[in-house]
């Protein structure tokens, strides 16, 4: 009897022509409409599959994989993977992959767009105009802050942070300061015109601060009331990383009370819910997590996720070598432990 083909689950409608490539190797169960899953529904979908393609909507940890003995690989569509409990997946021998690089430029573009929109009060002005409030042109209408020639602060200097630095330095003649656990090599710093500073100095000196660091227990609310208090009252804060990086209530308070000029947010702690305290403010630009949302980039992300899953499950030209694994060491350690256990 022919061996049953491996099964994979695709959690959301992505691009059919790309997802269809999975059918060459697997039996595919793919969502046909955008779906909000309960943890139980995710567990049920994972129960009988060997692999899955998921998005940031699907939180997967110990409970979701407990009843999924066949599961070997999860391909996340996104560079950030705070939706996945990487330690739990590693222990269970499940390889997780992400989609770096292909979204760097698009996400850096959005970070810059939010910075400019917040600093120059673009969405606020437009709303005001549409509301019919533009009675007469006046000299002092919607005065904002300059972007060119100002000091750009970047918290987290990975690929996207470097993309923002490049835009600021080469395009807008900005002085670029950054803070990151590790310093960039000097030639890269030179190319980006970027200087490493302490977290405290970054907060104090930035005219515009962009947060682009991965979310973890260590970075939870790294921008809290104390951090905001160190910033210039004329400064702009942009968050394109994950909502939990910023204490949103402290931010709303600072924006409402003139302790910070403006903010641009693409990500939220409770997304898709956005705090009423933020919605009520004029001086914050709010976008619905669209950092990587250009058609070309979203297609490239799905292509990479699909290729990763095919490779992780041992098929295709890169069989066994997906190009962007995030927990390969943990999976190898779990396999060693299992082998050692068998020998005993």
Contact 174, 149 (CB under 8 A): yes
Instruction: Map residues 278-317 to x or -, x wherever contact with ligand 8YV holds by CB under 6 A.
Output: -------------xx-------------------------
242 is catalytic: yes
Q: How far is the CB of 156 from ligand 8YV (least distance, A)?
A: 12
Q: What is the secondary structure of 241-308 as a DSSP string? A: S-GGGB-HHHHHHHHHTTSS-EEEES--TTTT---HHHHT-SSEEE--S-TT-SHHHHHHHHHHHHHH
- Cβ proximity to ligand 8YV: between 108 and 147 the closer is 108
Least distance CB 270 / ligand 8YV (angstroms): 15
Q: What is the DSSP string of 82-150?
A: TTB-HHHHHHTT-EEE---STTHHHHHHHHHHHHHHHHTTHHHHHHHHHTT---S--TTTT-----TTS
- For residue 289, indicate whether it is catalytic: yes
Bridging pattern class, strands 51-54 and 73-76: parallel
Instruction: State which residue, 212 or 237, has the beta carbon closest to ligand 8YV.
Output: 212
Q: Given the residues 27, 191, 271, 277, select the one marked as catalytic.
A: 271
Strand order in the sheet with 51-54: 27-30, 7-10, 51-54, 73-76, 95-97
Partner residues linked to 262 by β-bridges? 236
Asked if the bond preceding 197 is cis, omega within 30° of 0, the reply is no
CA distances from 22 to 35, 73, 308 (A): 20, 14, 11
Residue with nearest beta carbon to ligand 8YV = 78
Among 47, 55, 183, 197, interactor with ligand 8YV by CB under 6 A: 55
Q: Which is nearer to ligand 8YV, 79 or 210 (CB)?
A: 79
List the catalytic residue out of 121, 167, 208, 289.
289
**In the bound complex, what is the minimum distance in angstroms from residue 18's beta carbon to ligand 8YV?**
15
Q: How far is the CB of 103 from ligand 8YV (least distance, A)?
A: 5
Q: Binding mask 90-109 vs ligand 8YV (x if CB under 6 A, - otherwise)?
A: -------------x------
Q: What minimum distance in Å lies between the beta carbon of 190 and ligand 8YV?
A: 28
- Residue 81 or 178: the one with the smaller Cβ distance to ligand 8YV is 81
Tally: H helices and E strands in the chain: 15, 12
Catalytic residue at 315? no
Which residue in the list 72, 121, 167, 242 is annotated as catalytic?
242
Asked if residue 134 lies in contact with residue 157, where contact means CB atoms within 8 angstroms, the answer is: no
Place of tokens 């973890």: 216
CB of 212 to ligand 8YV, least distance (A): 10
Report CA 288 to chain centroid distance, whole Å: 12
CB of 301 to ligand 8YV, least distance (A): 7
Q: Is 74 in the site for ligand 8YV (CB under 6 A)?
A: no
Selected from 18, 46, 79, 265, the binder of ligand 8YV by CB under 6 A is 79
Could you say which residues in the range 179-208 bind ligand 8YV, by CB under 6 A?
none
Structure tokens at 273: 């819910």
DSSP 23: G
Supply 134's token pair: 């533009």
Interface residue with ligand 8YV, options 6, 78, 144, 264 (CB under 6 A): 78
Per CB under 6 A, residues contacting ligand 8YV are: 55-56, 77-80, 103, 291-292
Known catalytic residues are 242, 271, 289
């Amino acid at each position: 009897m022919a061996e049953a083909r491996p099964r994979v689950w695709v959690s959301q409608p992505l691009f059919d022509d790309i997802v269809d490539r999975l059918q060459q190797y697997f039996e595919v169960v793919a969502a046909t409409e955008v779906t909000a899953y309960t943890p139980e529904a995710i567990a049920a979908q994972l129960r009988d599959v060997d692999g899955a393609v998921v998005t940031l909507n699907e939180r997967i940890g110990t409970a979701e994989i407990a009843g999924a003995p066949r599961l070997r690989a999860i391909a996340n569509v996104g560079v950030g993977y705070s939706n996945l409990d990487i330690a739990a997946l590693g222990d269970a021998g499940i390889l997780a992959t992400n989609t770096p690089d292909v979204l760097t430029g698009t996400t850096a573009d959005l970070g810059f767009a939010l910075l400019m929109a917040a600093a120059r009060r673009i969405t606020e002005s437009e709303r005001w105009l549409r509301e019919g409030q533009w009675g007469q042109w006046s000299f002092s209408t919607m005065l904002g802050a300059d972007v060119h020639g100002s000091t750009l602060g970047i918290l987290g200097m990975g690929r996207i942070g470097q993309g923002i630095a490049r835009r600021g330095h080469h395009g807008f003649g900005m002085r670029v300061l950054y803070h990151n656990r590790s310093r960039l090599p000097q030639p890269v710093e030179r190319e980006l015109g970027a200087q490493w500073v302490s977290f405290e100095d970054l907060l104090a000196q930035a005219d515009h601060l962009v947060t682009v660091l991965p979310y973890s227990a260590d970075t939870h609310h790294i921008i809290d009331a104390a951090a905001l208090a160190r910033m210039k009252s004329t400064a702009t804060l942009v968050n394109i990383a994950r909502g939990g990086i910023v204490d949103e209530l402290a931010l709303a308070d600072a924006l409402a009370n003139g302790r910070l000029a403006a903010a641009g947010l693409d990500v939220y702690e409770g997304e898709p819910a956005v705090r009423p305290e933020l919605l009520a403010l004029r001086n914050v630009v709010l976008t619905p997590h669209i950092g990587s949302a250009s058609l070309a980039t979203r297609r490239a992300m799905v292509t990479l996720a699909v290729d990763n899953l095919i490779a992780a499950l041992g098929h295709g030209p890169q069989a066994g070598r997906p190009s962007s694994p995030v927990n390969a060491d943990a999976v190898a350690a779990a396999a060693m432990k299992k082998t050692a256990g068998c020998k005993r």
